[in-house]
Amino acid sequence: MIIRKLFKFENAHIVRNCSTLRCRENLHGHSYQVEVLLESNYLDHGQMVYDFGLTKLHIKELIESFDHAITLWDGDDVAYRTDMKKHSARWVELPVSPSAEQFARVIFLMVERVLSCTGMVNGEREVQLHSIIVHETQTGYAQGFREDAYSPLMGTIALESIHFSPQVRAEWSRQDLWEVLLRGEQLINPKII
* Residues 6+ positions from 64 with CB-CB distance below 8 Å: 7, 9, 171
Cβ(95)–Cβ(162) below 8 Å: yes
- Is 68 tagged catalytic? yes
- Is 136 tagged catalytic? yes
CA distances from 145 to 5, 10, 66, 103, 185 (A): 16, 23, 20, 12, 24
**Cα separation, 6 vs 36, whole angstroms:** 6
Q: Which of 35, 64, 124, 136 is catalytic?
A: 136
Cα torsion angle, 16, 129, 134, 117, sign: negative
How crowded is residue 162: how many other Cβ atoms within 10 Å of its Cβ? 20
Q: Which of 23, 39, 112, 130 is catalytic?
A: 23
**Cα separation, 65 vs 37, whole angstroms:** 19
Residue 134 identity: V
Q: Which of 39, 61, 68, 117 is catalytic?
A: 68
* Residues 6+ positions from 133 with CB-CB distance below 8 Å: 34, 35, 37, 104, 141, 142, 143, 144
Provide the residue count of the chain.
193
Q: Which residues are catalytic?
A: 23, 68, 136
